[in-house]
């Protein structure tokens, strides 16, 4: 899709929030007093994860919905989609795993302990293989942030169906999100059920960005109200340094994305070059920042807020460098194009062998009905006396 400048700004907000949360989590002074004003503010930075989930649904669906609502006949190419996402996600991810393995063996050889963000009880070759294959059940992650990648990777399997459902029946689409939340709260404690609604809200936000409904102008006041409600209803019984989410925070992330596209002042703020640069590198920052922060927090000769700030800047700087070296080749380069092309051909052959259609045609029934209603209204108006 054509790059939307404010989306990069939103990515920067999301990753900066998560970085701030981890800077507080590994800071002895702040983590020891999570009810302080600073501790309260920083621990809500964990909801940058919710924003990432919404942005993921937005970015995956926006190009297709732009063509769909533009009147084109759209077939969602499953093989092309899967090839692009696999190369985009796995390339930098596997580079991170290699870097962390080298770091772990180097620190152990030097007789030093691992950063607190890494498994202190050690990890096995099986743990490394399982997380490389995006499994997250009973896996000791080399980096605590890796769990979100496993969830997102599983979303890729259902994304074509969920997008198709949105184009066919928004009501059925909403029902799926509600059922997922009910299933989670009823005892099916799969994180996929808890996070799927945020991902689906990203699809709704993408549709709003394309269609620009009048109601979008209320997104900014709705955002302020939802954040206030989320803070007010945060339970003290929830572990303060563990990510948690609620429908309120997911809706707040959705409102922020919609408001960014509907509020010119907010869009311009998010398009500031420095913010956009952080957003472009947000995946690289997300992959490496947590162990860097944990290491700095336990070795830098600082304390309190200055230590947290130094750790945040170190995590972002390391992520920017990592993104330039290890992420960029998998975003735009001849290597990336060759890898995507080869994988796309392989996936296409596999789908053909299984007699599964490579393309998912998006039904245009809803658009046809809307067009008929408009035409009928025009006929009625034309028949009325002037």
Q: What's the pLDDT tens digit per position in 135-158?
A: 998 999 999 999 999 999 999 989
Looking at residues 165-180, what average pLDDT do you find?
94
The helix/strand/coil state of 106 is: helix
pLDDT beyond 70 at 372 = no
pLDDT one-digit tens code per residue, 337-364: 999 999 999 999 998 898 887 887 886 5
pLDDT in tens, 242-297: 888 899 999 999 999 999 999 999 999 999 999 999 999 999 999 999 999 999 99
Torsion of CA 378, 381, 383, 386, to 10 degrees: -140
pLDDT of 376? 45
Burial class (CB within 10 angstroms; exposed 0-12, middle 13-18, buried 19+) of 313: middle
Model pTM score: 0.90
Across 304-333, average pLDDT: 94
Q: Which of 14-18, 128-132, 241-245 shows the lowest per-residue confidence on average (mean pLDDT)?
A: 241-245
Please determine, for residue 371, whether its predicted confidence score (pLDDT) is greater than 60: no
Banded pLDDT at 238 (limits 50, 70, 90) = low
Q: What is the mean pLDDT of the chain?
A: 89
Q: Are 314 and 285 in contact (CB under 8 A)?
A: no
Under 8 Å CB-to-CB from 137, ≥6 apart: which residues? none
What pLDDT score was predicted for residue 45? 93
More confident residue, 150 or 238: 150
Give the per-residue pLDDT at 363.
Answer: 63
pLDDT mean over 295-310: 91
55-99 residue pLDDT tens:
999 999 999 999 898 877 788 888 999 999 999 999 999 999 999
Give the mean pLDDT of 8-32: 94
Sign for the pseudo-dihedral over CA of 346, 94, 126, 193: negative
Residue spans of alpha helices (H) in 263-364: 264-270, 273-280, 282-297, 304-322, 334-353
- 297-303 long-range contacts (CB < 8 A, ≥24 apart) are 297/23, 297/26, 297/27, 297/28, 297/116, 298/26, 298/115, 298/116, 303/28, 303/29
Residue 189 — very low, low, confident or very high, per pLDDT cuts 50/70/90?
confident
Residue 378 has pLDDT above 60, yes or no: no
Give which of 268, 278, 229, 277 is closest to 249, Cα–Cα. 229
pLDDT confidence of residue 120: 83
% pLDDT > 90, the chain: 67
């Amino acid at each position: 899709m054509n790059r939307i400048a404010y989306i990069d700004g939103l990515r920067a907000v999301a990753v900066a929030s998560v970085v701030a949360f981890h800077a507080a989590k590994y800071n002895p002074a702040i983590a020891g007093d999570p009810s302080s004003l600073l501790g309260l503010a920083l621990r809500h930075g964990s909801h940058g994860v919710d924003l990432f989930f919404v942005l993921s649904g937005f970015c995956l669906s926006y190009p297709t919905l732009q063509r769909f609502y533009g009147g084109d006949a759209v077939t969602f190419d499953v093989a092309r989609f899967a090839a692009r996402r696999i190369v985009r996600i796995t390339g930098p991810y596997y580079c991170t795993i290699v870097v962390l393995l080298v770091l772990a063996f180097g620190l152990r050889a030097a007789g030093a302990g691992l950063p607190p963000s890494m498994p202190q009880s050690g990890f096995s070759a099986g743990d490394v293989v399982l997380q490389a294959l995006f499994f997250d059940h009973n896996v000791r992650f080399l980096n605590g942030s890796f769990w979100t990648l496993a969830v997102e990777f599983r979303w890729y399997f259902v994304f074509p169906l969920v997008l198709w459902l949105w184009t066919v029946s928004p009501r059925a689409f909403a029902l799926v999100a509600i059922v997922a939340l009910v299933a989670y709260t009823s005892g099916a404690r799969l994180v996929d059920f808890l996070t799927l609604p945020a991902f689906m809200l990203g699809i709704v936000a993408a549709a709003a960005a394309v269609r620009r409904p009048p109601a979008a102008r209320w997104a900014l006041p709705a955002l302020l109200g939802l954040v206030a409600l989320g803070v007010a209803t945060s339970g003290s019984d929830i572990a303060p340094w563990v990510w948690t989410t609620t429908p309120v925070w997911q809706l707040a992330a959705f409102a922020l994305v919609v408001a960014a596209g509907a509020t010119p002042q907010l869009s311009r703020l998010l398009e500031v070059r420095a913010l956009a640069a952080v957003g472009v590198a947000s995946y690289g920052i997300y992959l490496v920042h947590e162990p860097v922060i944990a290491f700095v927090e336990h070795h830098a000769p600082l304390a309190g807020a200055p230590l947290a700030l130094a750790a945040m800047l170190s995590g972002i700087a390391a992520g920017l460098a990592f993104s330039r070296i290890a992420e960029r080749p998998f975003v735009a380069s001849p290597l990336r194009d060759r890898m995507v092309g080869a994988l796309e051909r392989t996936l296409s052959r596999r789908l053909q062998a299984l007699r599964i259609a490579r393309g998912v045609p998006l039904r245009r029934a809803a658009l046809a009905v809307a067009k008929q209603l408009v035409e009928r209204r025009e006929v009625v108006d034309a028949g009325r006396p002037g």
